[in-house]
């Protein structure tokens, strides 16, 4: 007691020290707890892509479905790929007229919708008239024939126009792109085809895959599982790059993160032991 009376300042300091250490201890404990939570609360990825980077991009919109507070898409934190659709028909248009093939696998196109390809094409969206902003016959004259020749433009799409990675030398740009109406594709019968319906063009040569696609065996459809239900169909160019398809049908991509290791396991090297054998 004497001590207290004599030096209250020292006691106050000591008390403060105890308090301070106590508080900091609590804080550090909290910090340790909240660390994983903070990682979880990272901002959702807004610039996403469907199936492939650069093929079709989507921007995340919060509260697109107010009933459940759903965003339109949920994307991966590691790769930016769309992992989940709030509404599978978001941003789609009707697929349009499809030719009737009278075999057992005739497609079920009554409620078919697709995402339009035209808004996703870089050069298509450079001017008000699409590709014809430049390819109008004046600025860029119409080509006289479809003989392969070296082209300086669009080398980001086709590196070497004399070595088109499609058709093994039998095809060239103007076999698929209309020479006079550059906003359209053109098939072997001379029918003009919208960029939104590449399946009509591709199906001309790749009949086996086309029939499988119409039957729902090849390619991807989301939405209703029921026959006759509303479905969003993926068209050819949403997965395959027609200009490089000969190199790889489906280019390699970055995978999502692996599952967590079981508690106490440092790594999964034991799994890779088998690599040497093969």
Q: Which residues bind other proteins (CB under 8 A)?
A: 36-37, 40-41, 50-52, 68-70, 74, 76, 81-85, 88, 105, 108, 212, 215-227, 229, 234, 239, 250, 252-261, 268, 271-272, 274-275, 277-278
Query: Angle at the Cα of 30 (from 26 to 36), degrees rounded to 5?
Result: 165
CA torsion sign for 173, 96, 114, 129 is positive
Give the nearer residue to other proteins in terms of CB position, either 54 or 259.
259
Shortest Å distance, C-beta 148 to other proteins: 31
- Nearest-Å Rg of the Cα atoms of the chain is 30
Those residues whose C-beta lies under 8 Å from the C-beta of residue 54, and which sit 6 or more positions away, are none
CA torsion sign for 183, 90, 71, 240 is negative
Shortest Å distance, C-beta 4 to other proteins: 42
Q: How far does CA 245 lie from the centroid of its chain?
A: 17
Give the nearer residue to other proteins in terms of CB position, either 3 or 270.
270
In this structure, what is the dihedral angle of CA atoms 157, 162, 163, 166, given to the nearest 10 degrees?
A: 70
Shortest Å distance, C-beta 145 to other proteins: 38
Give the nearer residue to other proteins in terms of CB position, either 11 or 268.
268
Give the nearer residue to other proteins in terms of CB position, either 145 or 269.
269
Q: How far apart (Å, rounded) are the C-alpha atoms in residues 129 and 209? A: 33
Shortest Å distance, C-beta 57 to other proteins: 14
* Backbone phi, psi, residue 204, to 5°: -60, -35
Shortest Å distance, C-beta 194 to other proteins: 22
The token duo for 83 is: 């992992």
Give the nearer residue to other proteins in terms of CB position, either 11 or 84.
84
Give the nearer residue to other proteins in terms of CB position, either 168 or 272.
272
Give the nearer residue to other proteins in terms of CB position, either 67 or 147.
67
Q: Which of 183, 172, 184 is nearest to 145 (CA)?
A: 172
Helix or strand (DSSP H, E) at 270? helix 269-272
Shortest Å distance, C-beta 141 to other proteins: 40
Q: How far apart (Å, rounded) are the C-alpha atoms in residues 165 and 136? A: 27
Shortest Å distance, C-beta 221 to other proteins: 7
Asked if residues 52 and 253 have their Cβ atoms less than 8 Å apart, the reply is yes
């Amino acid at each position: 007691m004497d001590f207290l009376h004599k030096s209250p300042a020292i006691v106050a300091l000591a008390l403060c020290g105890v308090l301070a250490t106590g508080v900091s201890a609590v804080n550090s404990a909290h910090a340790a707890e909240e660390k994983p939570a903070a990682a979880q609360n990272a901002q959702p990825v807004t610039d996403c892509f469907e199936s492939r980077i650069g093929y079709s991009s989507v921007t995340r919109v919060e509260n697109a479905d107010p009933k459940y507070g759903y965003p339109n898409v949920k994307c991966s934190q590691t790769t930016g790929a769309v992992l989940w659709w709030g509404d599978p028909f978001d941003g789609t248009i009707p697929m349009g007229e499809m030719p009737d093939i009278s075999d057992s696998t005739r497609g079920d196109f009554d409620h078919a919708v697709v995402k339009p390809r035209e808004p996703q094409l870089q050069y298509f969206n450079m001017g008000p008239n699409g590709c014809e902003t430049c390819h109008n016959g004046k600025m860029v004259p119409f080509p006289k024939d479809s003989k392969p020749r070296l082209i300086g433009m669009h080398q980001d799409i086709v590196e070497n126009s004399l070595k088109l990675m499609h058709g093994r030398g039998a095809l060239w740009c103007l076999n698929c792109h209309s020479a006079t109406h550059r906003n359209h594709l053109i098939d072997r019968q001379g029918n003009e085809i919208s960029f939104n319906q590449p399946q009509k063009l591709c199906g001309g040569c790749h009949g086996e895959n086309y029939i499988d696609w119409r039957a729902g065996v090849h390619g991807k459809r989301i939405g209703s599982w029921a026959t006759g239900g509303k479905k969003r169909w993926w068209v050819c160019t949403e997965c395959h790059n027609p200009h490089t398809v000969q190199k790889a049908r489906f280019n390699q991509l970055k995978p999502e993160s692996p599952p967590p290791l079981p508690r106490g396991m440092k790594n999964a090297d034991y799994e890779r032991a088998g690599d040497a054998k093969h």
